[in-house]
Amino acid sequence: MKIGILGTGNIGKTLVQKLTKSGHEIKVANSRGPETIDVQILTSGARAVTSQDAMKDVDVIILSIPFASHSTIKPLMAEVPEETVVIDTANYYPVRDGIIQDIENGMVESLWVAGLLGRPIAKAWNAIGARAFAESGMASGNPDRIAIPVAADRKNDRDIAMRLVEATGFDAFDAGTLADSWRQQPGAPVYCTNLTKHEMATALDTAEKARLPKRRDLVTAVVLERFGAEKLSNSDADFLTTLNRIIYR
């Protein structure tokens, strides 16, 4: 497939490398321009382009950008065909993104993004840590393979997102609609706890929406105190998984 990826952070760069190696044609962009993209990201064959070019003539667009940055790419969505699959990987962290009142009032993060962009999306790769995503992929059929939840309202969006998750070395798990995708937000039992497919259904079912923000903020405070702001999204993988399992489950 032809895929445009916006964002070259920890998750974005791994997506570029894994999906290119899986045989997909990848264009990648960031907010600063193609000349600023690290050449190491492009060694597997991806092309550095502008944000506008990354969203043209592709089957799939993957948004791997800070949550608050969705408003900046909204104008670019105007020319994207309705059938193009848009997959979002971002999570809301008020300490980083600022307060978004609708989400503070209980709106599901994925629904907020879909409403802002004015189109359906799928949610995937948001519930795995950056280091685990980069280092822990396994071949299909391995009983220890980590599962990644995928939520979407349109069948085609869900099917393609799940196929791409599998291509990155993880088991794709159908987590239902966007309205239910709060179950994979920060603070939920499946969030960055590295569960297998067999563990995923129970963990999704036991999520308690009202408790997510407090749990998210508790883990954030611990990570900031121990590692600092620069490691908020890429702290020690084993430590973070253990901490999340203690707090979120």
Q: What is the pLDDT of residues 39-49, one digit of tens each?
A: 999 998 999 99
pLDDT of residue 235: 54
Q: Is the pLDDT of residue 63 over 80?
A: yes
Sheet of 122-123, strand order:
47-48, 25-29, 2-6, 60-63, 85-88, 122-123, 147-152, 171-174
The correct CATH number of 66-178 out of 3.40.50.300, 3.40.920.10, 3.40.50.720, 2.40.160.210 is 3.40.50.720
Residues 30-51, mean pLDDT to the nearest whole number: 94
Structural contact between residues 161 and 124, judged by C-beta atoms closer than 8 angstroms: yes
How would residue 34 be classed by pLDDT, with cut points 50, 70 and 90?
very high
Report whether pLDDT(7) > 60.
yes
Give the orientation angle of helix 10-21 with respect to helix 155-167, to 10 degrees: 80
> Using one digit for the tens of pLDDT, what is the confidence trace for 226-242?
877 665 555 567 888 99
> Tens of pLDDT along 110-163?
999 999 999 999 999 999 999 999 999 999 999 999 999 999 999 999 999 999
Sequence ranges of the domains in the chain: 66-178
